[in-house]
Structure 1
Amino acid sequence: MCPDSVRLLNGSSRCSGRLQVKTNPSDQTWSSVCEADLDLQDAQVVCRELGCGAPSVLQGALYGDVHTPRWSPEFQCGGHESALLNCRSSGSARSSCSPGKAAGLTCSEVNEIRLVGGASRCAGSLELKFLGQQRPVDPRFFTLKTAALICEHLNCGSTVSFEPTDVSHQSVWIIHSYYVQSHSDLWNSVTSINSPFSLKLTCSDSVRLLNGSSRCSGRLQVKTNPSDQTWSSVCEADLDLQDAQVVCRELGCGAPSVLQGALYGDVHTPRWSPEFQCGGHESALLDCRSSGSARSSCSPGKAAGLTCSGRRGTAASTPL
């Protein structure tokens, strides 16, 4: 079943994205919603209508912004309604909405993914809550592509490693990764088996490489403030060889071999990180000193792209 009048766009799952509403079903036109016109009670109704769990994040431009939208009216839900259009509304839509204020919404999922027992929220034993049961994941058939999708879903960085670990004989979930092309495919690819093994997955906390040909190459992004979970691009001029050595080490890769702007695509309206000043020996990029202030812009073609040599011996032992 598809909801008639609400949808979430550009999210990492069906339960997250930029909110749009079809306020007049007769003309089949979708309108964006201003963050100021959506409160927690409204978000509860949207999440319920989509068959998701409770709202966890409500923030403007969390999943991209809109420059020339059609705006919906302000909703006035009690929180108990089954659909957003069953709520009262202000009756008239805004003529504009401030930049960065198109409402983005994240609802919890009925099916959940988590990493437990690790040193951070981005590392640990992989567990799925599926069909109401929380179980570990068996390492068989698990691939780098599936690992990358899970790291992205958790808003962590790139995959560092995954490997089997021994557990007591128990029922576990197994992911048939050859069916998985996107996060939405994951839940159709899970079955139950008995296994003495589970899977330990490590994603980086605060760095990731995008659009590369392997997990050790791509356009570099950094989460400089973990509390707001927002990723920033890095200007080529703000990253030198010592910085690159730290990034490659943090991702469980070998030494840097190429550092070049726009090598893996460019960014037109990014949020930029500060200049890093690493000695080259640090274990993580955020352990390095930095300039303290980010650039307001970066020249076209200068978003840092990085290629590290292949995996070190400590990285994933599971065949990719």
Structure 2
Amino acid sequence: MTFLCAGVRSENNSSAEPLRLVGGASRCAGTVEVKLRGEWRRGKVYGRLDRWDLGATAAVCRELDCGSAVSGRERYDVPQSRVWRISPDLVKKSTVRKCVMNTDFPSSSWGLEVVCSDWVRLVSGSGLCSGSVQIWDQSWTWLCEEALDLQGAEVLCRELGCGAPSLLQGAVSPLGLQTFFCEGHESALRDCPCSSSRTCSSGAAVNLTCSEPLRLVGGASRCAGIVEVKHRGEWRRVEVYDRLDRWDLGATAAVCRELDCGSAVSGGERDGFPQSRVWEITSDCVNKSTVRECVVSRDSSSSSWALEVVCSDLLNRPIISLSVLDGASEALPQGVRVKPGSKFRVKCSVEPQFPGGSFQLLPPTVNLTQNHTLPAVNHSAHFLFSDTGPAHKGNYTCVYHLQVFNHAFSSQSHALQLYVGGQGQRRR
């Protein structure tokens, strides 16, 4: 059996299937319609406080066997007609038809629009942006591990509405052996030239992790600031869905984990921002899933509210360097070699973020110097050592300490190793 470069999905929706998407570019995109009591009607969310998020969209895509969820939203600009009211929370646990809450409802101009990835999907991952890659070829088949290079992974992540690839297991060396020959600018993997490939088992499939389209902006580092999410191709500020909802420290911790920014320090809602379009989100969902999956997909009005998050990895990593003041030294891949009896200086520095702070030097032996902590002056501190001997040999590390946002933060440098004596090519 050979793999098709661009397998075509059948457009036929069997009347036996009580769910379909209509009006889109394929059977895997369009407005949700449900057949109940022999009648097809458009679907809408059950009540005003119900929310249709990407998790509910993913459930529809799975039920239609249509790949990964790309986007979904509530629409209010469709023609007036009778509708079936659907519970989004129940959709995640059952079939859509079983989640119709009330059959007697007047006509409405609201509807649900869903876009699925059609012929490519990620399965068995921790979220919608990670997993093993499958391609549609009359049925779902595993994409073998040599099929993608980095450019192909970039295209696939973008096609699924995710960020750049952060982990690609099974990428080939640049020998032109991959199945998909992407240049990186294509909007979908099927737009890339390709060659036939064998099918394979799940154990030999490409495993791909795309970064989540989430960021913190306006803060002193990537781990502090206002929460923004990219959804339906657009970056927007985020606010909680309902004023009765509360953004708690658990939801803040989930954002910090997703950004690989350590633990939660503080988080909350803020008013007073310029009016702009926002993505609404629910904090209880964020505690259980990725932020993008919890975006309430509807066309909301502009807002002056935002979510501000501060994570423990706020500070830049300090830089450690060593210079010899009165003797020869030799640069080594792991550190620096100095002559016995020489004088050297360790410099701790950090890229400017905040004023103040202090540097703590962690030497190999605690009694090497009287003072291991110095205030940061122009974002740096210098530690002087005289009469170098065997006790000075070992690893040195800088730790930057700072009090900001009424919290104590610290960040540690890489270790620098000092060698004393020995042979080698020296330089001044």
The two structures have a TM-score, normalised by structure 2, of: 0.36
Q: Decide which structure has the larger Cα Rg and report it.
A: 2
The two structures have a TM-score, normalised by structure 1, of: 0.46
Which structure ranks higher in relative contact order (CA pairs < 8 Å, sequence separation ≥ 6)? 1
